[in-house]
Structure 1
Amino acid sequence: MAAVKGRLILAAAALLAVTSPAPVREGRPELAVMTWNTCAGTNSDCGLYRADAATLGETVARYATDRPIRPGVILLQEFCTGADDALRRALTARTGRSWSVRSWALPGADGAPYLCHPDRAGRPRGAASIVLAVADEPVTFQVFPLPSPPWYVGRAVLCATLPGRKVRVCGTHLSSGRADDDRQPGAPYRTRQVTELMAHAAVPGYRSVFGGDLNIAPPDSGDGTAAARRAIAPAYRAYQECDRRGTARTGQWTHRNQAGTKKLDYLFAPHGTRVRCDLAPLTPLSDHRPLYLRVSF
Structure 2
Amino acid sequence: MFRRILSWAAAFAAILSVTVAFAPAASAADTEAIAKSAGQKWVLKSEATGKYVSTEINDTGNQWAKLRARSDKPGAWERFTLHTDDEGKTVSLRFEASGYFASTEIEDGGTHDGMLRARGANIGSWERFTLVPKGDGKYALLGQAEDMYVSAEVNDTGSDYGLLRARSKTVGSWERFTLEKAGAAGIQEGVKDSGAAVPPVAGPAASSTAQVMSWNVCGNINTDSPCNGGKPIGKDALAAGINDRIEKAASYPDVIFFQEFCEKHAKPVELALEDKGPYQWDVRFAPVTYNVDGTGLKAHKECMDADGYDRGAYGVAIAVPDENSWYQAYELPSPETYVNNKGVTRKAEQRAAICASVPSQAAMYCSAHFSTGGKDWDDPKREWQPKQAAMLMEKADQSGYRPVFGGDLNVSPPARGFSVLTPMYDRYQECDEKNGVYDGDDTKDGEKIDYIFSPYTFAACSVQTYVGLSDHYSIHGAVQLPPK
Which interval holds the TM-score relative to the shorter structure?
A: 0.7 to 0.9
Matched positions, count: 258
Q: Is the 8 A contact 1:57 1:84 kept in 2?
A: no
Match of 1:39 in 2: 218
Q: Distance in 2 between matches of 1:217 and 1:239?
A: 16
Q: Distance in 2 between matches of 1:217 and 1:107?
A: 25
Match of 2:474 in 1: 290
Q: Distance in 2 between matches of 1:28 and 1:78?
A: 32
Evaluate the alpha carbon distance shift between residue 276 and residue 113 of structure 1 in structure 2; reply closer, same or farther with a 3 A threshold: same
Q: Distance in 2 between matches of 1:275 and 1:267?
A: 13
1:114 aligns with 2:294: no
1:98 aligns with 2:280: yes
- Write 1 or 2 for the structure with the bigger share of helix: 1
Q: Distance in 2 between matches of 1:66 and 1:100?
A: 22
- What are the ranges of 5 or more consecutive residues in structure 1 without an aligned counterpart? 1-26, 223-228
Q: Looking at both structures, which has the greater relative contact order when contacts are Cα pairs under 8 Å and sequence separation is at least 6?
A: 1
The SS at the match of 2:299 is coil
Amino acid at match of 1:266: Y
Of 144, 149, 154, 2:330 maps to 144
Residue 153 of structure 1 deviates from its aligned partner by: 0.8
Q: Is the 8 A contact 1:69 1:293 kept in 2?
A: no
Q: Distance in 1 between matches of 2:305 and 2:246?
A: 25
| Deviations 1:50-79, CA, capped at 9 Å, x for gaps | 121111122113323331121111110011
Alignment of 1:51-90 (within 5 A): 51-90=233-272
| Deviations 1:89-120, CA, capped at 9 Å, x for gaps | 1111111421111101111243322111122x
Q: Is the 8 A contact 2:220 2:232 kept in 1?
A: yes
Match of 2:442 in 1: 253
Match of 2:403 in 1: 208
- What are the ranges of 5 or more consecutive residues in structure 2 without an aligned counterpart? 1-205, 293-297, 338-347
The SS at the match of 1:112 is strand
Q: Is the 8 A contact 2:302 2:314 kept in 1?
A: yes
Root-mean-square deviation (CA, aligned residues, Å) is: 1.8
Of 265, 272, 280, 2:450 maps to 265
Q: Distance in 1 between matches of 2:244 and 2:274?
A: 11
The SS at the match of 2:233 is coil
The SS at the match of 2:413 is coil
TM-score, normalised relative to structure 2: 0.51
Q: Is the 8 A contact 2:220 2:260 kept in 1?
A: yes
Q: Is the 8 A contact 2:317 2:354 kept in 1?
A: yes
Q: Is the 8 A contact 1:219 1:249 kept in 2?
A: yes
Residue 284 of structure 1 deviates from its aligned partner by: 4.7
Evaluate the alpha carbon distance shift between residue 274 and residue 263 of structure 1 in structure 2; reply closer, same or farther with a 3 A threshold: closer
Residue 294 of structure 1 deviates from its aligned partner by: 0.8
